[in-house]
Amino acid sequence: MALQVLYQIDVAKEECEEALRIFWTWAKADEQVQHFCNTLVRGTMAHLDTIDAMLKRVSDHWSLERMSIVDRNILRFAIYELCYLDDIPPKVTINEAIEIAKTYGTADSAVFVNGILDRVKREVYGEERAEAPLPEEDNLS
């Protein structure tokens, strides 16, 4: 859902709150899902300049404009999670982003998203925390 709203903002150049208002007039989700979606969208947009600067820095030979809109926005909200939502383990964020890329992106999206987010994870957490395994109950494999 966050991808859909961010896509709408990116393509239609809508303001964040207007995009969320329009989205929730037709999309249905329970309160917890709506809250998390709103958090991702608002947080991503509030930190967009910082997120895009990091994205440019870690994506060798890829400008933001050259990335597909889907991939760019998956990366944006995943970078927001990695940088600003400490309660979500980095591997969970990356695994979820890869799954979303497999579903909504191109054949190459999952590999691209994984590579970029791995670089972001190492930059944000350093080598030691970036390699830390997930607690058993959070393991997605």
DSSP string, 22-49: HHHHH----HHHHHHHHHHHHHHHHTHH
- Mean pLDDT calculated for residue range 13-25: 97
CA distance 69 to 77: 13
- Token pair for 52: 């895009």
The pTM (predicted TM-score) of the whole model is 0.87
- Binned at pLDDT 50, 70 and 90, residue 125 comes out as confident
B/e letters for 2-34, b = 16+ CB within 10 Å, e = fewer, are bbebbbbbeeeebebeebbeebeeeeeeeeeeb
Return the closest-CA partner of residue 105 out of 3, 2, 13: 3
DSSP calls for 88-119: S-HHHHHHHHHHHHHHHS-TTHHHHHHHHHHH
What are 95-116's pLDDT values in tens digits? 999 999 999 999 999 999 999 9
| pLDDT of 127 | 66
What does the CA dihedral 32, 37, 38, 44 come to, rounded to 10 degrees?
Answer: 140
Mean pLDDT of the chain: 90
Ordered structural domains, the chain, with CATH: 2-135 (1.10.940.10)
